[in-house]
Chain A
Amino acid sequence: MGFTEVVGRVWEVLTRRIDSFLFGSALALFGVGLATLFSAADQSVARMSSQLMSFALALVLMWVLANIPPPTLARAAVPLYVVGVLLLVGVALFGVVVNGSRRWLNVGVARIQPSELMKIALPLMLAWYFQKFEGRINWKDFAVAAVLIAVPVYLIKRQPDLGTALLIGASGFYVLFLAGLSWKIIGGLAVAGGAAGPFFWSQLHDYQRDRILTFLDPSRDPLGAGYHSTQASIAIGSGGIIGKGWLNGTQTHLDFLPERHTDFVFAVFGEEFGLLGAALLLVLYMLLIGRALVITANASTLFARLLAGAVTLMFFTYAFVNMGMVSGLLPVVGVPLPLMSYGGTALVSIFIGLGVLMSVQAHRTLVKS
């Protein structure tokens, strides 16, 4: 074998399972994110290199996941879910309290946040369940699925971490929806949810109510809970159509924007690149989600379909909730903007999701044949 052949072979192994369209749009978003981060972090090289390190790790994991066939993933579903639930119970019993919430579990070497694991374990579990009873699915299965969703959601809500609980609940709901949950039940759930509103309100913690009230009227507490929201709106709004230009955002660089390289990175982007930039960003997200939906639509097994669909919709949900929150459309919840926000964990999770989608795409003919 000649050198070029070796290189060719390695390249083939590396790229065989990689969906170039999906990877291309993710790379574009990450590039935009990196540029924004450079501005948001006041041109800190340390932040850049740290984000790039995470990116390298994320690429490796994406490649690994892309090379694992969906049935192998399916085998991991039950153990992951069980371990996840046990860890959540462990948190409830022995968790470490940080900032008034019991979210962390000390496992000797490090503190872990089991709710992060649940974000992938729950859709995996549900997809596995519906796959197992494919063709024989009836209302009992939806009931079982509802319980499978309710257990982790309840445990996380208790921590308390309402935002994550709702997001994990949403990921479970997406699987049910794609599995064909009746519109009547969906409608019924919506009505019941509305009717139970006052009850849920009474169940909320003070800070949660505060966030919702502040969302409805940020001027209620412009220096406290409303400060983030108000300053982010000012940043985006003052950006105008073409923006103030890269590195020129006054809200950003004069330190008025809190959390500007993590959850509120979109405010930096909106201020510096304006409506045109925001529209371009939405288009990039649409391209990535559109490609993911095509992959989902073409998946060969129910498990693959449900898993890919849930991952895709979660990707959308994160992007939507984050941008909605930053632009003042939704209450403030701690959700990073996929591929844009600074932070290794979030970046790695996103690329793991992309790896799953690539695996589904790459292994579709194999399963079919």
Chain B
Amino acid sequence: MARPTLFDSGGYRGRRRFGALELRDPQRELFLFRRRLLYAFLFVLLGFGGLFARFVHLQVVQHGHYRTLADSNRIAVVPIVPNRGVITDRNGVVLAQSFSAYTLELTPARIANLDQTIDQLAELVDIQQRDRKRFKKVLEESKNFESLPLRTKLTDEEVARLAVNRFRFPGVEIKARLFRHYPFGEVASHAVGYIGRINDRDLERIAEWEESANYKGSDYIGKVGVELSYERELHGTTGVEEVEVDSGGRAVRTLSRVAPSSGNDLRLSLDIKLQEVAEAAFGDRRGALVAIDPKTGDILAFVSKPGFDPNLFVDGIDPTNWQLYNESPDKPLLNRPLRGAYPPGSTIKPFLALAALTSGKRTQHQTISDPGYFQLGGGGHRWRDDKVGGHGLVDMYKSIVVSCDTYYYVLASETDIDDTHRFLSQLGFGRKNDVDIEGELTGTLPSREWKRRRAGNRVDDRKWYLGDSISAGIGQGYNAFTPMQLALATATIANDGVAFRPHIAKSIVNTKSGEQRAVAPQPTHTIAAKPEHIAFVKNALVGVNREGTGARAFAGTKYVAAGKTGTAQVYSLKGEKYNAAKIDERLRDHAWFIAYAPADKPRIALAVLVENGGFGAQAAAPIARKVLDFHVLGRAEPGAAAPISSPRDVDDTSD
């Protein structure tokens, strides 16, 4: 013991200030050591006690909280997309159906180098330039966390090759998806429409329906045609699957499942065979045709030429095709029957005749003398008739059959435009007619009120002039109707003045119960006209095809068809003589034909428009004939309808 005093710290003998033991006595040394060891033991107990308290806190006190966290970790609620309903024509021919196929999908948010990944994938499966372009386009429109299709409809071999290499590509998945297929392609494309990827505007619409939950997991929605207007019938109810997922989000097993219920099938009133006949009759020409069953309002054919291939739109159209469609001067994406507004030309005459009979402005026997033109007052503007030298004495029957313009110039000069407006709007002109395909235009049925409200700075632009009435009197001027409106008006006349809502859906079929909900024919109203007046007009329309402007096209029919030709000016000739050969094709007149058959018991009423087709009798009437033949006789006459640019033939000019 060297310096005992310095380090003696009291307490135990021999214990130093800095804690060193200076005992020779092994017993005491051992005692002190064991006491320290006891402290250490207490320290151990304290530590383990603390741990135990922590475990109790976690596993008993907070157990519920952590249980919930663990469950929300592992359980994911996955929507199961329902099968979209099938669309068929009135005879059950499938126009749109869904099938399941594998797609290669990429989640851009999880992929560092998108281009490189696509290049690597291209070594495994066939990825065309247009697939890449389409993917880029979809990518620009998407939100970041979506998985987007790169290649669709993979073959079994491609699926196998990708599955083997999947580990190399995080963020790349093979998914089984439902695809929409339109077996008829362009045929009836504007009626059936197509589905496409849901965009922000669609999301708003879904939110308005309060269907957001039902569209969880749905990638597609109807965009055009009945796919759009019957979206909520076709979509179905989304199912829910609770799955256990691992930390990578991969489903491990199913915990519970509420099966989806498929969308309702939609049976259209459309007759696809008739539709094909009608589209074939158009050949390469642009135009529209609407055929309606006058007794029910069933739309039998709905043609808009040129059409488009709806199959291209389903997965997002590639930019090349999009450009082709969007920039084509033929406007294949324009729904002409509903959204094309054209001057009706002479097809308006029978309706004006009926208006004059109803108002008492004319009787059927009153005649005028037609010198070949109409002149207002003494030396005013001359409105030409089509026939040089005029038709001579013309009564109402003849005015329709030969389509005498002068008769209607005179009539218009004596009739108030607002009276005409009131009468014609009953027939569906200048308004929407609640057709079950979206996008109807109102068209223009002019009136003083309409002109006053029309945009225009000068007083002249807003004031109604007599000259306006006279132009309108032969279906030119401000008049602009859709083919649907003309078809509806024709159907209403054919049905003796009882109007039906035009509709393309015939019945909705619940796929589970088989229960059918028919779209009942709804007579909307009866026009204010006397039956004998309607009968007179109908008789005159039969006369058109028997001895008038439609006679050539309807020569030799085995049934009696009623019709009326029409030619709508696109380009004002200002008194010059029309020479088709000299005029650019797109400035040529539009050809119209309205018709119904059989005349005594009409089963079909239609309106045909051929854009820049020239004369109605030449371009439009033969198409109408083919459609009527097929529908009434059940077979089509062979051969194309009519050549497009035959020069004006004097015998055919009365229009």
Residues of A within 8 A of B (CB): 135-139, 141-142, 174, 177-185, 233-241, 250-251, 253-256, 270, 274-275, 278-279, 282, 285-286, 289-290, 293, 296-297, 302, 305, 309, 312-313, 316, 320, 323-324, 327-329
The smallest C-beta distance from A45 to any residue of chain B, in angstroms, reads: 21
Q: List 29 A-B contacts (CB under 8 A).
A: A142-B18, A178-B40, A180-B33, A182-B16, A184-B17, A236-B66, A237-B62, A238-B70, A239-B59, A240-B67, A241-B59, A241-B60, A241-B63, A250-B71, A250-B74, A251-B70, A274-B59, A275-B56, A275-B60, A279-B55, A289-B44, A297-B33, A305-B33, A320-B47, A320-B48, A327-B54, A327-B55, A328-B54, A329-B54
Closest to A183 in B: B19
Given A178-B36, A238-B66: A286 touches B48 (CB 8 Å cut-off) = yes
Residues of B within 8 A of A181 (CB): 18-19
Residues of A within 8 A of B69 (CB): 234, 237-238
Residues of B within 8 A of A290 (CB): 41
* Interface mask (B563-582 → A, CB under 8 Å = 1, otherwise 0): 00000000000000000000
Choose from A137, A253, A285, A293 the contact partner of B21 (Cβ within 8 Å).
Answer: A137
Task: Find out whether the CB atom of A185 lies under 8 angstroms from the CB atom of B18.
Answer: yes
- Name 4 extra pairs, CB < 8 A, besides A139-B19, A286-B44, A313-B40: A136-B2, A137-B22, A138-B18, A250-B70
A312 to B41, CA, bound (A): 10
A239 to B55, CA, bound (A): 10
A256 to B244, CA, bound (A): 12
- Please classify the interface of chain B as helix (H, G, I), strand (E, B), loop, or mixed, using the class held by over half of its residues: helix
A323 to B73, CA, bound (A): 23
Residues of B within 8 A of A297 (CB): 33-34, 37
Chain B interfacial residues counted at CB < 8 A: 52
A313 to B37, CA, bound (A): 10
Task: Find out whether the CB atom of B41 lies under 8 angstroms from the CB atom of A293.
Answer: yes
Residues of B within 8 A of A302 (CB): 29, 33
9 smallest beta-carbon distances between A and B, as pairs = A237-B66, A182-B19, A139-B18, A238-B70, A137-B20, A254-B246, A255-B247, A237-B58, A275-B59
Choose from B24, B37, B244 the contact partner of A309 (Cβ within 8 Å).
Answer: B37
Choose from A274, A309, A324 the contact partner of B51 (Cβ within 8 Å).
Answer: A324
Residues of B within 8 A of A282 (CB): 48, 51-52
Most buried by A among B3, B23, B58: B58
Residues of B within 8 A of A (CB): 1-3, 7, 9, 15-24, 29, 32-34, 36-37, 40-41, 44-45, 47-48, 50-52, 54-56, 58-60, 62-63, 65-67, 69-71, 73-74, 244-248, 252
A309 to B248, CA, bound (A): 46
Residues of A within 8 A of B245 (CB): 254
Task: Find out whether the CB atom of B73 lies under 8 angstroms from the CB atom of A234.
Answer: yes
Task: Find out whether the CB atom of A240 lies under 8 angstroms from the CB atom of B63.
Answer: yes
Residues of B within 8 A of A328 (CB): 54, 58
The smallest C-beta distance from A134 to any residue of chain B, in angstroms, reads: 9
Task: Find out whether the CB atom of A278 lies under 8 angstroms from the CB atom of B37.
Answer: no
A182 to B52, CA, bound (A): 31
Task: Find out whether the CB atom of B37 lies under 8 angstroms from the CB atom of A293.
Answer: yes
Residues of B within 8 A of A279 (CB): 52, 55
Choose from B36, B63, B244 the contact partner of A180 (Cβ within 8 Å).
Answer: B36
The smallest C-beta distance from B63 to any residue of chain A, in angstroms, reads: 5
The smallest C-beta distance from B424 to any residue of chain A, in angstroms, reads: 69
